[in-house]
């Protein structure tokens, strides 16, 4: 009987492990190897160059600019998205009239969830194309709206200004993501036992105190996971930058990101070994982000019965 159980477990696990090794581990291994070569992407043997590609990265002005821009995105996109998601979820679930022993949600809350979640139905390239039209300096909706309300002096070439282009891209990433995390946080809030909220209200806690001292600690695991996923999005940003901004890295490299430099070095310049080194660096940065976020945000788990 025991041998039959082991055979069943082996038959269930080994095929999955084999597929994982072939389609996940193998490409990673090849990328790590290519990062140590000068392969050009065409047939032929690649010369082993060791860590030279990684040394070149720290002297590459374009890569350093991309690293700086990704760092700014990492600071802004997760923080703004999570704050807006928490705010909208709180308004939907607890922004209505307050009863004597309960914080009520607003009327039509389900409609707002659907409306804010709608961008998730669109792929990121489609969102980038739509916002490219929104930001158009002459015919775009944003400048047209500003001129229509008498604020034409605020109209800008949003994607052509080196000081604004990166912020315009980050606004699109936040807009496309906030609805998902609003729904995620809203679902987590709905799972909080009503007795806990009633006790907070009976103790005299206001809405802000209830949010800060009761709701947020119970949502901490969700916030932590959201930060990791949004951090990965901020460290990528390739699709939005590639579609929305013109030229390599936007105006004066203002929107240069690591993914864009990787793509350009591999498929434009034929430096696949150097591009693989960029990919490995991006992988290590993403891994470090996940480890630091999970360890730094570790708290005692709150158990509710």
What was the pLDDT predicted at 180? 94
pLDDT band at 203 (very low <50, low <70, confident <90, very high): confident
What was the pLDDT predicted at 36? 92
Helix H or strand E segment including 302: none
What was the pLDDT predicted at 93? 82
CA dihedral (74, 79, 85, 88) in degrees, to 10, reads -140
Contacts of 186 (CB under 8 A, 6+ apart): 88, 89, 92, 93, 113
Whether 48 shows a pLDDT value over 70: the answer reads yes
Q: Is the dihedral of CA 26, 294, 185, 169 positive or negative?
A: negative
Rounded mean pLDDT of the chain?
86
What was the pLDDT predicted at 170? 95
Whether 25 shows a pLDDT value over 70: the answer reads yes
Beta carbons of 174 and 84 less than 8 angstroms apart = yes
DSSP state of 136: -
pLDDT band at 104 (very low <50, low <70, confident <90, very high): low
Beta carbons of 220 and 299 less than 8 angstroms apart = yes
Hey, what domains does the chain have and what are their CATH numbers? Answer: 60-268 (1.10.3720.10)
Q: How many residues does the chain have?
A: 305
What was the pLDDT predicted at 100? 47
Share of the chain above pLDDT 90, in %: 43
The tokens describing 281, both together, are 């660096």
CA-closest candidate to residue 296, choices 229, 227, 216, 213: 227
pTM of the model: 0.87
Share of the chain above pLDDT 70, in %: 90
How far, in Å, are 7, 8, 238 from residue 17 at the CA level? 15, 14, 30
pLDDT digits (tens, 9 = 90+) for 231-280: 999 998 888 998 988 766 778 888 999 999 999 999 888 899 999 999 99
Better-predicted residue by pLDDT, 169 or 198: 169
pLDDT digits (tens, 9 = 90+) for 127-166: 999 999 999 988 889 999 999 998 888 889 999 889 999 9
pLDDT digits (tens, 9 = 90+) for 50-72: 899 999 999 899 999 999 999 99
Beta carbons of 295 and 301 less than 8 angstroms apart = no
């Amino acid at each position: 009987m025991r041998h039959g159980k082991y055979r069943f477990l082996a038959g269930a696990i080994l095929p999955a492990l084999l597929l994982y090794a072939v389609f996940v581990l193998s490409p990673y291994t090849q990328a790590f190897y290519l990062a140590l070569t000068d392969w050009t992407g065409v047939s032929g043997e690649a010369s082993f160059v060791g860590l030279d590609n990684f040394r070149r990265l720290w002297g590459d002005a374009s890569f350093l600019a991309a690293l700086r821009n990704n760092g700014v995105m990492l600071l802004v996109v997760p923080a703004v998205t999570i704050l807006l998601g928490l705010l909208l979820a709180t308004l939907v679930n607890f922004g209505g009239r307050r009863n004597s022993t309960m914080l009520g949600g607003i009327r039509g809350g389900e409609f707002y969830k659907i409306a804010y979640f709608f961008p998730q139905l669109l792929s990121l390239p489609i969102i980038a194309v739509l916002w490219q039209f929104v930001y158009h300096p002459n015919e775009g909706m944003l400048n047209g709206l500003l001129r229509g309300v008498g604020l034409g002096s605020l109209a800008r070439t949003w994607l052509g200004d080196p000081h604004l282009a990166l912020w315009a891209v980050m606004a699109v990433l936040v807009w496309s993501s906030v609805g998902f995390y609003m729904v995620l946080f809203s679902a987590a809030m709905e799972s909080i036992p009503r007795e806990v909220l009633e006790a907070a209200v009976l103790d005299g806690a206001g809405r802000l105190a209830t949010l800060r001292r009761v709701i947020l600690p119970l949502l901490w695991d969700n916030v932590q996971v959201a930060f990791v996923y949004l951090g990965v999005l901020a460290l990528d940003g390739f699709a939005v930058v590639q579609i929305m901004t013109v030229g390599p890295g936007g105006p004066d490299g203002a929107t240069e990101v690591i993914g864009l430099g990787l793509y350009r070095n591999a498929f434009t310049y034929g430096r696949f070994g150097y591009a693989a080194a960029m990919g490995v660096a991006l992988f290590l940065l993403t891994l470090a982000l996940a480890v630091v976020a999970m360890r730094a945000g570790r708290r005692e788990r709150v158990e509710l019965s």
